[in-house]
Amino acid sequence: MNQQKTAVITGSAQGIGKGIALRLAKDGFNIVLNDLNEDLLHETVREFETKQIKVAAFVGDAAKQNDQRALVEKAVDRFGSVDVFINNAGVEQVAPIEEITPDQLESLFQVNVFGVVYGIQAAAEQMKKQENGGKIINACSIAGHQAYTMLSAYCATKFAVRSFTQSAAQEYAKDKITVNAYCPGIVGTSMWERIDEAMSRYMNVEKGEAFKKFAEGIALGRTQEPEDVANFVSYLASTDSDYMTGQSIMIDGGIVFN
């Protein structure tokens, strides 16, 4: 890399976002972390600093348009540019359709869909000013290609992410900004701990059983680590992916084939 580029990752105090941030730091990016969880974010910053990673952090809500703008400002103030912006923050919800409440639907869409739109807007505005292109990368899921029982609202948000990824790719191509998405399968993060707990309760089975049942469908025979996702995001963030845009690509060990 000639000049050090900057990558911003939302929801990156833990899990997949943190894994992506660590990998992009290794690839030579300055890193800007963001999360709602202030304590965990600061803990992660300290860990990155111990590893000599050039890191900044912003406590903020990815579901708020003003916070997304402030996040971009923070990155520019600290490092001078935003070259890669990763809309990673996401939340889950487990319930049969008949039990979904308006509040649950609202809060899920606010983070997983509205947040992605606000992130795209804030990042693209800055990248256009820089006149040097850029890469916007969204967290989709196998659930953005295949809908699952008990996860209907979550799946709908990820289908929406896939749709916005396609539209944004077309709108920003003239500015040399590419927009793609990663679609993980079953990653052992705190999100899946919560999904497992809720699903196992609904299925009336022991904790861990829902995770095990989903894992049985993975062709490569194991669940994912954040690093498996980060290895692919590294490619999406690099110049090697310059000719790819509008794609939501499965990185799931072989669960969904299409």
Ligand X SMILES: NC(=O)C1=CN([C@@H]2O[C@H](COP(=O)(O)OP(=O)(O)OC[C@H]3O[C@@H](n4cnc5c(N)ncnc54)[C@H](O)[C@@H]3O)[C@@H](O)[C@H]2O)C=CC1
- Binding-site ranges for ligand X (CB under 6 A): 10-11, 13-17, 34-37, 61-63, 88-91, 111, 115, 139, 141, 184, 186-187, 189-192
Q: Which stretch binds ligand BUO (CB under 6 A): 56-64, 76-84, 127-135, 136-144?
A: 136-144
What single-letter DSSP state applies at residue 173? G
Residues 6+ apart with CB under 8 A from 92: 108, 151, 154, 191, 194, 195
Active-site residue, 172 included: no
> How many Cβ atoms from other residues are within 10 Å of residue 17's Cβ?
28
Q: 34: annotated binding-site residue?
A: no
Q: 189: annotated binding-site residue?
A: yes
Radius of gyration of the chain (CA): 18
Phi/psi-derived region of residue 136, left when phi > 0, alpha when psi is between -120 and 50, beta in every other case: beta
Q: Which is nearer to ligand BUO, 67 or 92 (CB)?
A: 92
Please tell me the distance from the alpha carbon of residue 72 to that of residue 86, in angstroms, as a whole number: 11
Residue count of the chain: 258
Among 81, 141, 157, 165, the residue binding ligand BUO under the rule CB under 6 A is 141
Q: 93: annotated binding-site residue?
A: no
Among 70, 100, 191, 249, the residue binding ligand BUO under the rule CB under 6 A is 191
Active-site position among 118, 148, 154, 243: 154
Cβ atoms of residues 132 and 124 within 8 Å:
no
The helix (run of H) or strand (run of E) holding residue 50 is helix 38-50
Residue 187: CB minimum distance to ligand X, A: 4
* Placement of tokens 């191509």 in the chain: 173
Q: Which is nearer to ligand X, 112 or 245 (CB)?
A: 112
Residue 61 site contact among ligand BUO, ligand X, none (CB < 5 to 8 Å, cut-off depends on kind): ligand X
Question: If binding is defined by CB under 6 A, does position 84 make contact with ligand BUO?
Answer: no
* Residues designated catalytic: 154
